[in-house]
Amino acid sequence: MAAVYDSTVVNLLELTEERHEIAERFWQLFLHDLSEFRDSHPDEYGAFKRRHLEPYLLPDPDRVAYVVYGPTGPIGFAFVHGLTGAVRTFDQFFIVRSQRRARLGRAAAEATVRLHPGQWEVAFQNENPVAAQFWRRFAAGIGSNVKERLQPVPDKPHIPDDVILSFKVA
């Protein structure tokens, strides 16, 4: 179980078949958190849709998924796409609530961008003030040429636009 990124704070381990169950459990927590802002609902079985998770469960040279480990074990995930293009994107990023104030989210995000330097983008909504503050502070602290733009959320015209934050990491 070799870490892709190993520090005294967090470790990033690639999402392998052995870690699918961890990612799937965290996925439900992640979508539960977002349901407050994105008007999403669980299905008749009480589960949120997995369609955005599925691509990360299969090998793809343009994508990578990491399970984030902290001092107590698995604490979240970082899903990135755009590895073969000019812009890398935090497609999905999640840290369990109990670990967020310990700055482990920042450590995990920093570890991710350091593994894949270059131009980055992350989407969030201003209606999610914790995420908005986190990503703006993160980009300002690690990146250069930080810019923002608004973009409609695909297939959800009834919810507020995403803020797309772009920044460069050397």
Sign of CA dihedral 21, 73, 138, 128: positive
Q: Class of 5-169 per CATH?
A: alpha beta
Taking only the tens place, the pLDDT of each residue in 26-75 is: 877 776 676 666 666 656 665 657 666 778 788 899 999 999 999 989 99
Distance in angstroms (rounded) separating the CA atoms of residues 7 and 94? 19
Torsion angle, alpha carbons of 87, 92, 95, 97, to 10: 130
Taking only the tens place, the pLDDT of each residue in 117-169 is: 999 999 998 988 989 999 999 999 998 999 999 999 888 788 788 999 999 99
Distance in angstroms (rounded) separating the CA atoms of residues 143 and 11? 21
